[in-house]
């Protein structure tokens, strides 16, 4: 995950907000967010060893997969629901984003851009499934299920009736402003319900 993405989330989440972090890992980032922004946070993580690490850090954490995790909460319990690093691995992104909007008012999603020029070149010139710094695993080992670009993501948002109010794009050199669908490797977006 590009450090710029964490920086964006730090800036976008206001002081004192209620945040649910899905796929919280060992809780390192959520702990930083709690300390820096004095938020009230909960995490969801399926790996018990990582859940134990979150407990060591003093985080409120729920062991379960993302859908089970979301199902635990009542409507509009959180100001923000964050999904930073697993979006392209989710089996049913539509249902999860809908559930995230049931539980929270805003949703922050990070994803990898599969239309980066290096990916395009590998497919076109080498005729091989791409392996790049942001897609480091070969096809038989990758955990990614869905392959999307920034344009695809915007269309996805329109389809499910949510609007992207902020976004930021990154590659190994830093922030990307010019032709992000071609030059961005990782993207983070702040979504609000269009309702």
Partner 1 sequence: MKDPPASMLQGDLQDQKIAGYHSPLGVTRTQTVTFRGVQVQSGFTFDQVDVAYQTLGTLSPRRDNAILVCHALSGTAHVAGLHPNTGRPGWWDFHVGPGKAIDTDKFFVVCSNVLGGCDGTTGPLSPCPETGKPYGMDFPPLTVRDMVEVQAKLMEHLGLSQLFTVIGGSMGGMQALSWAVHFPERVRVCVPIATCVSHNAMQIAFNEIGRRAIMTDPNWNGGNYTPDRRPNHGLAVARMVGHVTYLSEYAMARKFGRALQPPVNAADAEAALFAVESYLHHQGESFVSRFDPNSYLCLTKALDQFDLFEGKPPEEVLRRVKARFLAISFASDWLYPPAQSRELVRLLKRARVAATYINLETLYGHDSFLIQNPEFAKVLGHYLENEYGSGHRKDAAAAA
Closer residue to partner 1, CB minimum distance, 72 or 163: 72
Residue 15 lies near partner 1 (rule: CB under 8 A): no
Rule CB under 8 A: is residue 64 a binding residue for partner 1?
yes
Measured from the CB atom, the residue of 31 and 186 that comes closer to partner 1 is 31
Identified binder of partner 1 from the candidate list 10, 60, 91, 179, rule CB under 8 A: 60
Task: Give me the phi and psi of 63, to 5 degrees please.
Answer: -85, 120
Planar angle of CA 47, 19, 194, nearest 5 degrees:
115
Which residue from 14, 58, 138, 161 is in contact with partner 1, where contact means CB under 8 A?
58
Of 49-57, 93-101, 139-147, 172-180, the segment contacting partner 1 by CB under 8 A is 49-57
Q: Of 51 and 184, which CB lies nearer to partner 1 in the complex structure?
A: 51
Q: What CA–CA distances, in Å, run from 119 to 10, 112, 135, 150, 172? A: 29, 11, 9, 14, 14
Which tokens hold the place of 55? 């407990």
By the rule CB under 8 A, 132 interacts with partner 1: no
Which residues face 175 on adjacent strands?
Answer: 170
Strands 104-112 and 186-193 come out as antiparallel
- Pick between residue 59 and residue 148 the one whose CB is nearest to partner 1: 59
Interface with partner 1, residue 37, by CB under 8 A = no
Q: Over 103-150, what HEC string results?
A: HEEEEEEEEECCCCHHHHHHHHHHCCCCCECCECCCCCCCCCCCCCCH
Q: Which is nearer to partner 1, 77 or 86 (CB)?
A: 77
Beta bridge partners of 108: 82, 190
Binding mask 77-106 for partner 1 (x = CB under 8 A): x-----------------------------
Q: Is 28 in the site for partner 1 (CB under 8 A)?
A: no
Q: Please give the DSSP secondary-structure letter assigned to residue 100.
A: H
């Amino acid at each position: 995950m590009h450090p710029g993405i964490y920086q964006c989330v730090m800036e976008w989440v206001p002081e004192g907000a209620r945040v649910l972090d899905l796929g919280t890992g060992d809780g390192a980032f959520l702990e930083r967010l709690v300390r820096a922004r004095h938020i009230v946070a909960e995490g969801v993580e399926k790996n018990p060893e990582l859940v134990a690490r979150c407990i060591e850090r003093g985080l409120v954490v729920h062991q379960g997969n993302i859908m089970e995790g979301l199902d635990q909460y009542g409507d509009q319990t959180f100001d923000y629901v964050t999904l930073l690093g697993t979006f392209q691995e989710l089996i049913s992104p539509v249902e999860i984003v809908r559930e995230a909007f049931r539980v929270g008012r805003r949703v922050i999603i990070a994803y990898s851009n599969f239309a980066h020029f290096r990916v395009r070149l590998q497919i076109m010139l080498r005729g091989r499934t791409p392996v790049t710094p942001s897609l480091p695993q070969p096809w038989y080992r990758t955990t990614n299920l869905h392959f999307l670009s920034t344009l695809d993501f915007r269309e996805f948002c329109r389809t499910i009736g949510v609007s992207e109010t902020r976004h930021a794009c990154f590659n190994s050199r830093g922030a990307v402003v010019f032709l992000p669908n071609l030059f961005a490797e990782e993207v983070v977006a702040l979504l609000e319900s269009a309702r």
